[in-house]
Amino acid sequence: MYHSISDDPEPGHPYFWINTSPRAFAQQLHFLGEQGYRVIPLAEAVNLIRAIPSGGVSSRAAPSAREPQGGRGLDHALGPDRRNSPRYAVLTFDDGYRDFYTQAFPLLKAKGFPASVFLPTDFIGRPAAGLRGKAHLSWAEILELQRQGITFGSHTCSHPQLAELQVDQLRRELSHSGRVIQEQTGGCDGFCYPFQFPQQDGLFLEVLNQTLQSVGYAYCLSTRIGTVNTAEDLFSLKRIPINSGDDPALFQAKLQGGYDWLSGVQALKKVLWKA
Ligand SMILES: [Zn+2]
């Protein structure tokens, strides 16, 4: 889960940064290629996840599921047979910042890596600074990127806290954004949830899932942290946040599942905050 590829300085703890420097990003792409990761389109990953049997992964299951488990050392986790199995990565970019066009895409193109960008449609194609004071992509840039294999999905219209909206507003954020992207690019099958995913709010998630499916989305990316090793709910797909704080060692640890334990902490923290 990338946001902005830029050297813009950011305040606060690195955990909350959304900028990845072009230099760190280039290093991360190099690492993926060097380590033999297959960087695949998101739609292909969704199909692989669909093929994972529920209740876990057997040795005959989809190869995408054979991600190593972190915590006890890579060699221990992989074992001799798993070390040779394919490992997949998907690159996603939230918020539709213009630096995807100027900074990220040239590096992706050089590697031949696909990527998906999620657009908050109210901010797209406007000259004024948008989210976090940054510039956003224009539709002309989006079409040019699309011709070169980049895919686009919805990240709402106005990037609101969806759980705070009335049901009709929620529906509009999901349906109108998707319709705009469909009209502009000819396709939009995925949705990406803005801000922290309210994974403890069962009632809201039920409404969200129903709305996403009735609008016609095939999947929803979330900010739940983790790699995908087992059958996953396609409407709350986990991701790994990446930013400038990820040096090669940390990037590697995250990819190998070293951060998956955080999803438990993330869920617990949300429960405690609610109490
Ligand atoms: Zn966002």
User: What separation in Å is there between the alpha carbon of 158 and the centre of ligand 1?
Assistant: 10
Average pLDDT for 55-71: 42
pLDDT at 57 over 90: no
- CA distances to 64, 122, 174 from 107, in Å: 25, 27, 31
**Mean pLDDT, range 189-204, rounded to an integer:** 93
Is residue 93 within 8 Å of residue 100, measured between CB atoms? yes
Q: Does 70 have pLDDT greater than 50?
A: no
Residues linked to residue 219 through DSSP beta bridges, in sequence order: 190
Tell me how far the alpha carbon of residue 52 lies from the centroid of ligand 1, in angstroms: 28
Per-residue pLDDT band at 12 (split at 50, 70, 90) = confident
Centre of ligand 1 from the C-alpha of residue 83, in Å: 35
CA–centroid distance, 204 to ligand 1, in Å, is: 19
DSSP lists the bridge partners of residue 94 as 118
Q: Are 171 and 179 in contact (CB under 8 A)?
A: no
Give all strands of the β-sheet with 151-154 in edge-to-edge order.
92-94, 116-119, 151-154, 190-192, 219-225, 237-239
Tokens describing residue 244: 């400038």
Pairwise CA distance, residues 222 & 239, whole Å: 7
Instruction: Answer for the pair 260, 82: CB distance below 8 angstroms, yes or no.
Output: no
Ligand 1 centroid distance, CA of 93 (Å): 9
Compute, in angstroms, the gap from residue 194 CA to the centroid of ligand 1: 4
Q: Report residues near ion ligand 1: CB below 5 Å.
A: 94-95, 194
Topology classification of domain 4-274? TIM Barrel (3.20.20)
Query: How far does residue 77's CA lie from ligand 1's centre (Å)?
Result: 33
